[in-house]
Amino acid sequence: MRGLAYFKKGDIHFTDELREPEIEADDELIVDVAFCGICGTDLHEYTDGPIFMPKDGEKNVLSNKSIPQAMGHEFSGYVAKVGPKVTKVKVGDRVVVEATCSCVDLHRWPESKHYKTPACNACKDRCDNCCEYAGFMGLGVVGGAFAERIVTIEHHVVKLPDGFPMDVAALIEPLSVAWHAARVSKFPPGKSALVLGAGPIGLAMILVLKAQGASKIIVSEPATMRRELADRMHVETFDPSTHGDKSVAMLRSKTFDGKGFDFAFDCSGVPATFNTGLQAAHYRGTLCNVAIWGSGFDFNPMGITLLEKDVTGSIGYTVQDFAEVTEAFKDGKIDIEECKHLITGRYRIEDGWEKGFLELMNNKATNIKVLLSPNNHGELD
């Protein structure tokens, strides 16, 4: 099978010798991949990894599987084959797949040393994304969607409406990250929001906050091209690089009565954005960290205590988020045309390394979401 795979530290390349996925559990199904987006996590596996991927000679703690492994976890596709207990979807259905692998999936891998281990407390409470052993398809546990086909279980699959554009469907994954953040932060309609960073997740955060009825959204982003993309989504943008230490005051002045924001979402993950979000939120306001951090930093917790602010975090998503994002599309709350602004390239899987990975690593400021198509679906660039 053709695919773009992780072979070892510093070695990701195209191959036509990947093992075909097979149905081994009754609730599994096989999906022909339409489009799969390259995630920042995929890039970090190359530049800083292995992070989620097993080291050479080792096996994943959940699945007992090793590398090489096809990467890719942001994808859409068509159901190609179903196991005898699959009832939610049928062959030919358009689907997206929530790519988390957790204790919930242990029945799929009887060879795993954790097979008979009781589910962790998070999974017992159906918080799969907080699983003690969590990983992802295409990131260490099982093969991902930079390949012609994948195998998954019915629990992770959400059916799409007939005719839904499959390139936009691949964006449901990053949109679900943002949707989950809005959900765990308890964002209600009618509140104001500051989004810090207009990368893929920050732009997805804009679309989600609009869908959930935000009264005012301001996006803080220093990169011109990314601010322009946010402008196309009809929200106000702000360039912090031109205001220096006056940025917080300038941002607060743009809110009702200048008191600050009800919610701030840090989608960048650097000390400057975290501190800006914390200071720009008003008394009893909420800062939600959505970004993945490489390391921590010092900050004074009295900035939280004195004004009784809430600080929370959001990691990944659940199947519920995928289903609710899909419903938001069906209801017209998320605009398909606005979503298309996030897609800055669509390429064949054979070109995925040069036109995908290298392009994103070398030209970050001019790219948002690059999609790869293992089966050459739709119009490609």
**For residues 232-245, average pLDDT:** 93
Q: Mean pLDDT for the chain?
A: 93
What is residue 110's predicted lDDT score, i.e. its pLDDT? 87
Torsion of CA 199, 201, 206, 207, to 10 degrees: 120
| Mean pLDDT on 364-376 | 89
Q: Is residue 325 part of a domain?
A: no
Distance CA 287, CA 279 (A): 9
**Which SS3 state, helix, strand or coil, does residue 245 take?**
helix
pLDDT classification of 292: cutoffs 50, 70, 90: confident
**CA-CA distance, 128 to 370, in Å (whole number)?**
27
Give pTM, 2 decimals. 0.95
Q: In terms of Cα–Cα distance, which of 292, 333, 285 is closest to 314?
A: 292
> Is 41 in contact with 360 (CB distance < 8 Å)?
no
Q: Is the pLDDT of residue 248 over 90?
A: yes
CA gyration radius, the chain: 21
Q: Residue 374: is the preceding peptide bond cis (ω within 30°)?
A: no
Residue 48 identity (one-letter amino acid): D
Residue-number span of the structural domain to which 9 is assigned: 3-171+342-373
Q: Give me the pLDDT at residue 118, please.
A: 64
Domain annotation covers residue 326: no
The two structure tokens encoding residue 117: 């281990």
On whether both 181 and 138 belong to a single domain, the answer is no
19 and 139 belong to one structural domain: yes
Any alpha helices (H) in 56-128, and if so which ranges? Answer: 121-124
Q: Tell me: pLDDT of 125 over 90.
A: no
Q: Is 379 domain-assigned? A: no
Are 77 and 193 found together in one domain? no
Intra-chain end-to-end CA distance of the chain, in Å: 23
What distances in angstroms separate CA 343 from CA 81, 251, 326, one per listed residue?
A: 29, 29, 18
- Burial profile 122-132: b = 16 or more Cβ within 10 angstroms, e = fewer: bbeeeebbbbe
Arithmetic mean of pLDDT, 81-110: 94
CA 105 to chain centre: 20
> What pLDDT is stored for residue 111 in this prediction?
84
Asked whether 281 and 305 are in contact (CB, 8 A), the reply is no
- pLDDT mean over 272-295: 93
Both structure tokens of 68? 């090489």
Domain count within the chain: 2
Which residue has tokens 């029945």? Answer: 107
Shared domain for 133 and 212, answered yes or no, is no
For residue 187, the model assigns a pLDDT of 98
Per the domain annotation, does 324 fall within a domain?
A: no
Dihedral (Cα; 107, 112, 114, 116), 10-degree rounding:
50
Place of tokens 């075909």: 20
276: CATH: 3.40.50.720
pLDDT digits (tens, 9 = 90+) for 180-202: 999 999 999 999 999 999 999 99
| 346 within 8 A of 378, measured Cβ to Cβ | yes
CA dist., res. 168 & res. 15, Å (int): 26
- Does residue 181 sit in the same domain as residue 161? no
Q: Same domain, yes or no, for 181 and 286?
A: yes
Q: How many residues does the chain have?
A: 381
Q: What is the CATH number of the domain that holds 36?
A: 3.90.180.10
Helices 224-232 and 200-211, axial angle in degrees (round to 10): 20
State whether residue 192 is helix, strand or coil. strand
299 band by pLDDT with thresholds 50, 70 and 90: confident
Residues 108 and 159 in one domain: yes
DSSP-derived pairing of the beta strands 3-8 and 11-15: antiparallel
pLDDT value of position 201: 95
Identify the residue with better confidence: 103 or 32. Answer: 32
Asked if 85 and 222 sit in the same domain, the reply is no
Tokens of 187: 């964002």
3-state secondary structure of 87: coil
Same domain, 301 and 350: no
- Structural domain includes residue 47: yes
Note if the bond before 50 is cis, omega within 30 degrees: yes
Residues 10 and 140 occupy one common structural domain: yes
Res 114: pLDDT:
75
Q: Evaluate if residue 370 carries a pLDDT over 70.
A: yes
Report, as an integer, the average pLDDT of 227-255. 93
Is 90 in the same domain as 206? no
Q: Which residue do the tokens 């589910």 mark?
A: 119
- Is the same domain home to 134 and 269? no
**329 part of a folded domain:** no
Given a cut of 90, whether residue 124 has pLDDT beyond it is no
> Which residues have a Cβ under 8 Å from the Cβ of 242 and sit 6 or more positions away?
none
pLDDT band at 360, cuts 50/70/90?
very high
